[in-house]
Structure 1
Amino acid sequence: MKVCIGLSGGVDSSVAALLLKQQGYDVFAMFMQNWHDADATLHGDCEWEEDRFVAEMVARKIGIPFYFIDLSKEYRQRVVDYMFNEYSEGRTPNPDVLCNREIKFDAFLEAAEKLGADMVATGHYCRKEPLLDSEGKQVIIDGQPQWRILEGVDPNKDQSYFLCQLGQGQLAKAMFPIGGLTKPEVRRIAHEADLPSADKKDSQGICFVGKVDLPTFLKQKLLPKQGDVVEVFDAFYASSPDYGFAVSTLSSILKTPGKPQMICAYSSEDSGGASFNNVSIEGATRSEGNEYDEEKIRTLSDETLERLSRPLDYGSIKFETETYRSGKKHIRKTRYKDNPYGKIVGQHDGAQFYTIGQRKGLNIGGHKDSIFVISTDTERNIIYVGEGHTHKGLSRCCIRIGNRDIHWIRQDLEMKDGEIRSCRVRVRYRQPLQDALLTKRPNGLFIIFKKPQRGISNGQFAVWYSSDGEMLGSGAI
């Protein structure tokens, strides 16, 4: 069997290539260039050239043919243009997910097949297995053998999330040689084989673009425009009909009557789950999350679920001006009247450059705790912020995936209208899997989390898994 390995110059794809060669496959390597413009990258214009040089040395060391392909046109059309469009609409896209669906397992696969490849391999930390029936035979649907895709065995490096939009046709052609290894094991194999990439640091930033300053990158197409930064006070939620609706609706579907937990306890995904202490959490009696009654969820109307899933709208916070006289000369000036629900605390250069949960780059002082973006309004060019990790605007309990955006990796697992299923869900890479109930309705797939989730933005991909680690499906929020 002839296998094309996507060789990036990193240690993961290098070890994947080595393992394939050792297993007796007819292997060749292909390095793809997907980006030319280095204006927004933080490492200068030679980063991809260095990666290519290392990749070529790795191929030479292993003893496999090496090819180069330029897919920058396809990447710009299918990934970068999508990014610009999503940010301009106030959504937060994931270009790496699109890169795998549209480039690595589409345009790159097509190029590899022209060179005679039967399969394409990558250095992703995930596993692929055949779907077997009760007799141990591979399941075939519509003439196509079915495959399962599972988390990688290394919980710190699992990359199945980035492959959440692949279909069965793409999986049939895919190989993931290092999915059963941990990162330390991969490093050890690379050192033992004296591979040139053995000590190379993991790549960061946008897939095949590199680490970038995102606002600078987006300003290539999206024009800066000054607007207000509005801080939202806690009083807003006490008077918000939509927030009150969410509290009452979630309360109505609890197994045990009471007040639902509405705020997520902060936990750093990059520090082993270290969380803060001595902080009062709303719904603290349910600190382990909300236990919902599936039968009560069935009684909710489609319209109720859709309203529950919507992010809060802060457009009702208005600011009126008043004139006053200042100083000995009584100079007439204008100021905003005090508003119990919020305050204009600064200026920004474009709502499209900010994402939910962001705290860097706001340049807002005078607060005891950190300030976070809780909402963006690209139409009126306003960003809304809140103070502290437990600000109510950072948490959401329910999200919706539109019918057009629902993607099932296996057709046999597709949910029918009215069905409720318990799954584990993540909405970003490296996020620990979260317990949730999925309910399918004619107006979409709704995900109700046991614990409120922090910093969710429309446009992100929600990915759901079974209890044994199989990735089942995904969709853009």
Structure 2
Amino acid sequence: MHNKRVLVAMSGGVDSSVTAYLLKSQGYECVGATMRLTCPAPDPTTGMSKVDRDIADAKAVAERLGIPHHVLDLQQTFDRNVVERFMNAYQEGLTPNPCIICNRHIKFGALLDAALDMGCDYIATGHYAKTSQAPDGTWQLHRGEDPKKDQSYFLYSLTQERLARTIFPLAGLDKERDVRRIAAEQGFTNAQKAESEDICFIPDGDYAGYIERRCGHPAAPGDIVWRDGSVVGRHNGALRYTIGQRKGLGVAMAHPVYVTGVDAANNTVHLGEAEDLAATALTANDWIWSAPADHMEAELDAGGIRVGAKYRYRQKDQAATLTRGAGGQMLLTFDEPQRAIAPGQAVVVYRGDIVLGGGTVTAAIK
């Protein structure tokens, strides 16, 4: 029996519900918490918004498990730290990942702070990832064992201090074979609840429309420019384009062409050939070590670190060398040329199945 107190982040979905069940079964004293991050309009047929339904689902599971449940209103914190950062990045021609921003500032920031304020020893979530403690007492963040569900890419901001306070009970479980089965066996009403695929505050996936509505005006039109500098068309908002995009360009060309750059300062979108998307390296800033920072910095000082790197979630590891770049940035040099690296993306580096750290791409180097 643990008798340790843990705050379980309960989204109303099946993963976090089974997380709470497993921890209670293991003897932890569980406290459920659901974050209210947005305030969408209610569904006219039910009178409830999706957020209200999720809170109700989480509360029902907590009641079934006999654990207390709290609703934490983090709307202002979420708006300031996630939504505004997301909007600003898009308006600067970047390609941000709001789920990574949310994990850093909300789930393992504000929610972890709330857990400690409630006297909890740990925070637990339904992420598919794994932690372990090395013999020297340091912590390691591992990939989830099911490669289709592994979410370690989104968790690189878990520093040593955060890893020591975090539990991922679903490590080693299969979503369909194990998690849904456990939920059904326990009589959870959300056992077959569908997964949320979209960004939670933009459920229709129309990022540009959302930003325009928030700003109160449409994005300014501008030029679409070919690789030789000639203007080949007009766009109705540079924020509608991202590097590597091939469809919906608003330009008729005789062969497939791609977005190769978004110049927010001049409000232009640049097009080119597939070969124009190739890069041999990238630079990144806002770097965070998940592995022990002093160990990693020593390896950098010794000449660099061999890593497997991902700058997109579903990407396979790409062999690369991590070294110090100019101006305090990191320089990641790939063994093989890479395609469509977009500033604003998260880049995460691994050693085998262990997350070493990550940062935000600032530039692709040809």
- Which of 342, 350, 361 matches 1:457? 342
For 1:41-440, what aligned pairs fall within 5 Å after superposition? 46-133=49-136, 138=137, 146-184=138-176, 185-207=178-200, 210-219=203-212, 220-221=214-215, 223-232=218-227, 317=229, 319=230, 344-369=231-256, 371-386=257-272, 391-402=274-285, 405-409=286-290, 410-411=292-293, 412-414=295-297, 415-417=299-301, 419-440=303-324
1:445, distance to aligned residue in structure 2 (A): 2.0
1:364, distance to aligned residue in structure 2 (A): 3.1
**Percentage of identical aligned residues:** 39
Deviations along 1:252-273, whole A, 9 cap, x unmatched? xxxxxxxxxxxxxxxxxxxxxx
Deviations along 1:390-417, whole A, 9 cap, x unmatched? x112222210124xx2221212222434
Q: Structure 1 regions of 5+ residues with no counterpart?
A: 139-145, 237-316, 320-343
Q: Secondary structure at the match of 1:447?
A: strand
- For 1:373 and 1:38, the matched residues in 2 are separated by 35
Q: Structure 2 regions of 5+ residues with no counterpart?
A: 362-366
Deviations along 1:179-228, whole A, 9 cap, x unmatched? 22122222222222232121111112225654531111111227411112
> CA contact under 8 A between 2:307 and 2:349: conserved in structure 1?
yes
Partner of 1:17: 20
The amino acid of 2:346's aligned partner reads F
Change (3 A) 1:47 1:212: farther
- For 1:48 and 1:167, the matched residues in 2 are separated by 29
The amino acid of 1:73's aligned partner reads Q
Partner of 2:332: 447
Q: Secondary structure at the match of 2:99?
A: helix
Q: Secondary structure at the match of 2:300?
A: coil
The amino acid of 2:333's aligned partner reads I
1:99, distance to aligned residue in structure 2 (A): 0.6
Partner of 1:252: none
- For 1:106 and 1:46, the matched residues in 2 are separated by 26
Change (3 A) 1:360 1:215: farther
The number of residues matched between the two structures is: 347
> CA contact under 8 A between 1:417 and 1:441: conserved in structure 2?
no
The amino acid of 1:352's aligned partner reads L
- TM-score (norm: length of structure 1): 0.69
Change (3 A) 1:424 1:211: farther
Compute the RMSD of aligned alpha carbons.
2.2
The amino acid of 2:6's aligned partner reads V
Q: Which stretch shows the higher mean deviation, 408-417 or 80-89?
A: 408-417
Partner of 1:473: 357
Please identify the structure whose Cα radius of gyration is greater: 1
1:74, distance to aligned residue in structure 2 (A): 0.3
Q: Secondary structure at the match of 2:242?
A: coil
- For 2:226 and 2:325, the matched residues in 1 are separated by 36
> CA contact under 8 A between 2:262 and 2:269: conserved in structure 1?
yes
Deviations along 1:22-68, whole A, 9 cap, x unmatched? 111111211111112559xxxx9812112112212222222222111
The amino acid of 2:269's aligned partner reads I
